Amino acid sequence: MGRKVTEDTEILEQTKLTGDVSSMWVQTSEIAGLSRAGQFVSVYCNDRTRLLPRPISICETDRAGGRIRLVYRNVGKGTAEFASMTRGGRLQMMGPLGNGFEIQDGSALLVGGGIGIPPLVELGRALRESGRQVTTVCGYRDREVFLTEELTRNGSFCIATEDGSLGVRGNVIDAIRQEKLAGDVIYACGPLPMLSALKSYALERKIPCYISMEERMACGIGACLGCVCKSQDIDSHSHVCNKRVCADGPVFLSTEVEL
């Protein structure tokens, strides 16, 4: 990991995107300038009875304005606290954390599922600004979709819904096959079954596939070993075949880890 800081940030804007997904822009003094696509922040609750921070991926970065955007799902007491806050509220957060995505040569196929979709916004922009052709496909449960406008700005965009209410009926692999979507490199973030299917798909076609793994985290900096995943190689920190998702990842080449 690169340099990280702990900041007292100010909420600039809070909006609800769907019934349980919220978007928050926050003012930072340093995190915005240090972050890159695929990294995350650990956000601390103001209710100090909740000791552990909540890891939230960075959706967008405004370096000139010193702002970052966090898009997150309300799934528990911590994120419920964040969702209840309004403009002017303050939150302590540490970041940027994790390794983020590295821009590779060739056209890019971005694949997202659920709350793994937000980091693809900043990644798509970084790829587009570096001159890469970008195709994005995202999977949602139903027609209650989010971030579609932002993702469309970066290139062609396709939707898959489990109930068929929008786009292709089925999952992202169904959409890739049906719409004949392709890229020289795959970048993905989402639930484990989706990542596992993409790993197999990429291996069949001999395409490099970079995945950002979702995992429960405690410290966020690799000290507690609470978010390890199985790896092909022996880790220099734990000396076993494990990788720390927060510190060694969350982005891995799919062949580095077992899914």
Task: Let me know the angle formed at the C-alpha of 80 by 216 and 146, rounded to the nearest 5 degrees.
Answer: 80
Give me the amino acid identity at 233: D
pLDDT digit string, tens, across residues 79-115: 999 999 999 999 999 999 999 999 999 999 999 999 9
Instruction: Give the pLDDT confidence score for residue 193 in this predicted structure.
Output: 94
pLDDT band (50, 70, 90) for residue 239: low
CB 251 within 8 A of CB 211: yes
Residue recorded with tokens 């940027």: 96
Instruction: Give the pLDDT confidence score for residue 48 in this predicted structure.
Output: 85
> What is the Cα–Cα distance from 244 to 221, expressed in whole angstroms?
9
From residue 256, how far is each of 201, 238, 251 by CA, in Å?
Answer: 15, 16, 10
Closest C-alpha among 222, 210, 190 to residue 109 = 210
Q: Which domains does the chain have, with CATH numbers?
A: 5-97 (2.40.30.10), 101-214 (3.40.50.80), 215-259 (2.10.240.10)
- 30 is written with which tokens? 């340093």
pTM: 0.92
Mean pLDDT of 71-78: 95
Instruction: Flag whether pLDDT at 58 surpasses 90.
Output: yes
Instruction: Flag whether pLDDT at 18 surpasses 90.
Output: yes
> What is the Cα–Cα distance from 211 to 202, expressed in whole angstroms?
11
Instruction: Flag whether pLDDT at 245 surpasses 70.
Output: no
CB-count exposure of residue 104 (10 Å: 0-12, 13-18, 19+): middle
> What is the Cα–Cα distance from 12 to 21, expressed in whole angstroms?
17
Q: State percent of the chain over pLDDT 70.
A: 86
- 27 is written with which tokens? 């003012």
Instruction: Flag whether pLDDT at 182 surpasses 70.
Output: yes
Name the DSSP letter for residue 15.
E
